[in-house]
Amino acid sequence: MGRLNLILVWSLSLTLSLYNLHTTSAQLSPNHYANVCPNLESIVRQVVTTKFQQTFVTVPATLRLFFHDCFVQSPYLYKFDIVKEIKGCDASVLVASTGNNQAEKDHPDNLSLAGDGFDTVIKAKAAVDAVPQCRNKVSCADILALATRDVIVLSGGPSYTVELGRFDGLVSRASDVNGRLPHPTFNLNQLNSLFAANGLTQTDMIALSGAHTLGFSHCSKFSNRIYNFNGQTPVDPSLNRQYAIQLQQMCPRNVDPRIAINMDPTTPRRFDNVYYQNLQQGKGLFTSDQILFTDQRSRNTVNSFASNANVFNSNFIAAITKLGRVGVKTARNGKIRTDCSVL
């Protein structure tokens, strides 16, 4: 009987804890800093704009940083009754490793995160804290969320209202990244499973994948598709034949591992719906891109986004807003970091 009661208490506690994890987004509000730092958005936007003018890499670097931060989200049970930690959109990816802790940013899946994304947030944080009224009152997590919206707009994408009120995480461990980020070889089931674990639907996943209209990839991430697809066919048959030849020319065998190419071969510097039109033509760079069109279960959504930019934009806004609610910290389990790279 005692064991049964223990199981019932554990189950109830877990249910309540997980419920709390999904309701912390209730603290988010576009007006969170209205009385604390009223000019926050314009301060961040100015810094992001300056950084954008210096290098376009600011755009994909910041957007990818936000995604990688929010997606590393996992509950830890402590003494079988409470959730001790949960990471998500908490700026834990910004934390630098120390002698006794390897942080998230140094996990192999995060080593390709471009430094310009980190630099954007660090400079925006410094600009915010330079205002006495705002000093040490705005989280790094919220600055990253605002910077992400701003780079999307600067590259021609839709503007949207950013929910604010996140606190910064207290933990950043490389080991927590394991199995939490999508890989270029994922099929639709794997993608859906990973996104569903973060409260995101298949439509959300397809919309967020549209961010691949920007940025670049190292050749090693897709070389299997153009040289070693399988024993019978060295080139992935779902690849557009001419595109495959172009990829082989840009990424010859034994290419310098530092070489990177555009994710979107058509409009690589513009946030638009051309990514989905590329998929219709067999020009998705990763297996995880092209599968969105080749799998019948997701093809209709790809076609819808490809044919109507407004439909894509509205779905992207809904999806990135939902993503921004993952693992939100409160004052009870988070803090406002004075230095985004230090816990």
With beta carbons less than 8 A apart as the criterion, state whether 249 and 198 touch.
no
Rounded-to-integer distance, Cα 293 and Cα 291, Å: 5
Rounded-to-integer distance, Cα 212 and Cα 284, Å: 9
Rounded-to-integer distance, Cα 59 and Cα 49, Å: 10
| 69 annotated ligand binder | yes
Q: Is 68 a catalytic residue?
A: yes
| 92 annotated ligand binder | yes
| 17 annotated ligand binder | no
| 88 annotated ligand binder | yes
| CA dihedral for 168, 166, 311, 49, sign (positive or negative) | negative
**Token pair for residue 38?**
């009223």
With beta carbons less than 8 A apart as the criterion, state whether 170 and 91 touch.
no
| 62 annotated ligand binder | no
The three-class DSSP label of residue 83 is strand
| 182 annotated ligand binder | yes
| 272 annotated ligand binder | yes
| 287 annotated ligand binder | no
| 72 annotated ligand binder | yes
| 282 annotated ligand binder | no
Rounded-to-integer distance, Cα 296 and Cα 170, Å: 42
Q: Which single residue is written with the structure tokens 């509205």?
A: 314
| 129 annotated ligand binder | no
Rounded-to-integer distance, Cα 108 and Cα 8, Å: 40
| 41 annotated ligand binder | no
Rounded-to-integer distance, Cα 144 and Cα 44, Å: 9
With beta carbons less than 8 A apart as the criterion, state whether 142 and 27 touch.
no
Among the options 68, 107, 183, 218, which is catalytic? 68
Q: Where are the alpha helices (DSSP H) in 212-308?
A: 223-227, 241-250, 274-280, 287-294, 296-307
Which residue(s) pair with 262 in the sheet? 216
What's 199's DSSP letter? T
Residues that are catalytic? 68
Q: Which residues are annotated as a binding site for heme b?
A: 212
Q: Which residues are annotated as a binding site?
A: 69, 72, 88, 90, 92, 104, 182, 212-213, 264, 267, 272
Q: Which residues are annotated as a binding site for Ca(2+)?
A: 69, 72, 88, 90, 92, 104, 213, 264, 267, 272
